[in-house]
Amino acid sequence: GAVVSQHPSWVICKSGTSVKIECRSLDFQATTMFWYRQFPKQSLMLMATSNEGSKATYEQGVEKDKFLINHASLTLSTLTVTSAHPEDSSFYICRGQGGDEQFFGPGTRLTVL
């Protein structure tokens, strides 16, 4: 069945490095990909929305130069955290939507040392 896969599931990196998170839609075409950030015991916070082939739309307060989103195809979207710092440590989740179908990726736990 249709799912969204997300890789890596967890990553630990040093401060100042960049990290790329990939979300792939399987058995459906995600025309829109939503990227969320979630802190422990809190709700999901929408960071940005991307449509295939278009520039992402970022929520207020989210630095677009720090969180680079690419949605080059209907099956792949990436989020790159550039020059990561400890405060970027969080759980990142993608949600792919195509027509009436929508699926969450399993999430990526990012720890920046």
Partner 1 sequence: AQTVTQSQPEMSVQEAETVTLSCTYDTSENNYYLFWYKQPPSRQMILVIRQEAYKQQNATENRFSVNFQKAAKSFSLKISDSQLGDTAMYFCAFIPSRTSGSRLTFGEGTQLTVNP
Site residues for partner 1 per CB under 8 A? 31-32, 34, 38, 41-44, 46, 49, 51, 91, 93, 95, 97-100, 102, 104, 106-107, 109
Pair 56, 50: CB distance under 8 Å: yes
CB 83 to partner 1: min, Å: 25
CB 32 to partner 1: min, Å: 4
Task: Give the contacts of 74 (CB within 8 A, at least 6 positions apart).
Answer: 25, 29, 30, 31, 52, 98
CB of 14 or CB of 41, closer to partner 1: 41
CB 13 to partner 1: min, Å: 19
Comparing C-alpha atoms, which of 22, 20, 18 is closest to residue 6?
22
Tokens of 99: 């027509």
